[in-house]
Amino acid sequence: MEEKTLEMFEVGACEDDYRFGFLIGQRFSKLIRSRLERDLILQNQLLPFAGTPQAQQLIKALSQTNQNKFSRYWDELLGTAEGSGVPFLHIILINFRKEILPFIPKTVGDTNVDAPDDCSDVIVVKESMALAAHNEDANVALVGHTYLIKRKLSNGLSFIGYTYAGELPSCAFGFNSHGLAFTLNSVPPTEDEIVPARIGRNFVSRDLLEATSIADALVKIHSAEVSVGHSYNLIDVQKRKILNVETASRFRVSVQEIGPTPFFHANMYLHLQVQQVQDENSTSRQKRAAVLPQSSKTDFLSLLGDAEDKKYPIYMTGPTLYTLCTAVIDLDERTLEIIEGNPKKGKVSCVFSLSSGELKILESKRY
């Protein structure tokens, strides 16, 4: 697989959120266009469905719900579409992918079924170590189609989000100048558990980038009536605290604080009682992680780099799913490392400080 440089775009003062999105779209226009062209889920499922009366009604309702609650982030998407020169409908579809796909009749694009976003996290908070390590896994169409967005708001808050081309920052992981970070894992509720036209996952995670504390992050999650649900790992560097938060439609939320027993989360609900699709990929990774050492940072990286199970490896290299990078958040060092390539090899691309309000890069081989 061709390796491309992960770029960080630092956006200065903007007169509004539309301008912020416009600058992102303008900067990454080629990348966004390329991603949309290669995204088979978009081309073979979402776009054909979007032309049907059922889809038009759903998309209109989704748009109204999310624009009403998150008008600033909606303006960002409008700006991204305008800046990149792509149809706004395409931007909407990739940002609402998880909220739309369950409603596509199975006869549309049956040969291109959506693969889960199979991220893996291993987390611990104990006396000798407080660490969250995260594999960002996605469809191979996303390889080379991601970037980092850094923004400083007028209120002084700064954030950095790992961003899929054309989507809101961040549907993967991010952190801000209040010492708050998060990683995300998708979860698979059954169709009966999904409520149409509610809040999209991408809008909730975008909102988390501006959370002032872990308590504020929980308020943001609790107040969003989501369609599908998600798993959030909320990390408070200053308080040396990590929470795993699982959500589902109808305001259902379960919070588990991470302690000295290592906690591995793939892509199944672990503590929120929700009817879910049995994902063999996720359960296989969960079982494999349970037999691997989890006593040190080296163990964590080795676990996330494990490919012993050829059918369902923890570290993925295609043909459908690919580990884009690994993020390692050390609450004691107050750093976030991004590793590109197998984390076993420990080749760090960049290190960010989480203790500075400026979110400084401490080490970089990229930027």
pLDDT for 116: 55
pLDDT for 355: 86
Kind and range of the H or E element at 245? strand 241-248
- Is 326 in contact with 136 (CB distance < 8 Å)? yes
**Among 183, 38, 171, residue whose Cα is nearest residue 98:** 171
If one counts every other C-beta atom within 10 angstroms of the C-beta of residue 258, the result is: 23
Cα distance between residue 288 and residue 312, in whole Å: 10
Cα distance between residue 165 and residue 28, in whole Å: 7
> Quick check: helix, strand or coil at residue 276?
strand
pLDDT for 17: 97
Peptide bond into 293 cis (omega under 30): no
Mean pLDDT, the chain cut into blocks of 10 residues (367 residues total): 76 91 98 97 97 97 98 98 98 98 77 64 98 96 96 93 97 96 96 97 98 97 96 97 98 98 97 95 96 97 97 95 97 96 91 86 68
Quote the tokens at residue 118.
């199979």
Cα distance between residue 340 and residue 45, in whole Å: 30
For the chain, the helix, strand and coil percentages under 3-state DSSP, each to the nearest 5: 35, 25, 40
Phi, psi of 13 (to 5 degrees): -60, 135
- Is 105 in contact with 47 (CB distance < 8 Å)? no
What predicted TM-score, i.e. pTM, was given to this entire model? 0.95
pLDDT for 347: 85
